[in-house]
């Protein structure tokens, strides 16, 4: 489930959304530039569930409704946190998120992404504090080196690989993706694209 940033539309992130689709994910993008409530994102899950059961739909019998992730950029990142409170959503990836949503309402693992040079959603003010209060679920904080607020536009930038690995692990049980994120092999922990990577206690308990 994807949420756009303020004044943005799905086409602005087209390369990123199509990249996820190339890995076998069905991507529903809220067709609004005001995705902060998470409601439009969740409407995509409702629609897909209906199409999964509708004979004649191209999605008939092809949707795994038991594995759903929510992600978005800026206001849409805040919307992903809001959507992540829904029991249907298994994992959440807010990218440079706005202030929307309540971290305590999340019930699944969360990957919080920030940009080191983001002067709109400043990491120390709007992203890192949310990671610090997410001690009830596995949580990872990753700050992209030299990245500004528009890093994910078009193809996802440095966020493309890490988000794909996160969803492949939590929604597809991909062990190679797990090793990129957790344990002693943690690829992002050694990658200079990331200026700050943190795992809370529940995330550190996941073996690589």
Cβ pair 188, 142 in contact under 8 A: yes
Q: Partners of 110 in the beta sheet?
A: 92, 139
Query: What DSSP string describes 73-102?
Result: ETHHHHHHHHHTTSTT--EEEEES--S-S-
pTM for this one?
A: 0.97
pLDDT digits (tens, 9 = 90+) for 181-197: 999 999 999 999 999 99
| Average of per-residue pLDDT across 79-101 | 98
pLDDT at 208 over 70: no
pLDDT digits (tens, 9 = 90+) for 56-75: 999 999 999 999 999 999 99
Measured distance CA(84)–CA(135) in Å, rounded: 15
Cβ pair 170, 90 in contact under 8 A: yes
Query: What DSSP string describes 2-45?
Result: EEPPTT--GGGGHHHHHHHHHTT----B-S-S--TTSHHHHHHH
107 CB-near residues (< 8 Å, 6+ apart): 84, 85, 87, 137
pLDDT at 129 over 70: yes
| pLDDT value of position 207 | 80
| Average of per-residue pLDDT across 139-150 | 98
Cβ pair 120, 150 in contact under 8 A: no
| pLDDT value of position 38 | 98
| Average of per-residue pLDDT across 127-153 | 98
């Amino acid at each position: 489930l994807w949420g756009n940033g303020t004044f943005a539309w799905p086409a602005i992130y087209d390369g990123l959304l199509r990249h996820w689709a190339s890995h076998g994910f069905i991507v529903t993008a809220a067709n609004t530039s005001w995705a902060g409530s998470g409601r439009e994102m969740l409407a995509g899950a409702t629609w897909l569930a209906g199409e999964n059961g509708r004979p004649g739909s191209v999605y008939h019998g092809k949707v795994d409704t038991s594995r759903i992730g929510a992600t978005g950029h800026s206001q849409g990142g805040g919307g992903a946190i809001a959507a992540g409170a829904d029991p249907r959503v298994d994992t959440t990836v807010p990218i440079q998120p706005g202030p929307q949503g309540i971290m305590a309402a999340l019930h699944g693992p969360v990957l919080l992404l920030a940009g080191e040079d983001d002067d709109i959603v400043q990491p120390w003010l709007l992203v890192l504090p949310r990671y610090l209060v997410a001690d009830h679920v596995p949580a990872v904080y990753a700050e992209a080196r030299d990245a500004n607020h528009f890093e994910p536009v078009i193809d996802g930038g440095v966020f493309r690989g890490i988000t794909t690995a996160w969803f492949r692990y939590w929604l597809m049980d991909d062990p190679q993706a797990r090793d990129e994120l957790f344990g002693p092999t943690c690829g992002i922990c050694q990658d200079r694209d990331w200026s700050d990577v943190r795992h809370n206690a529940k995330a550190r308990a996941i073996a690589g």
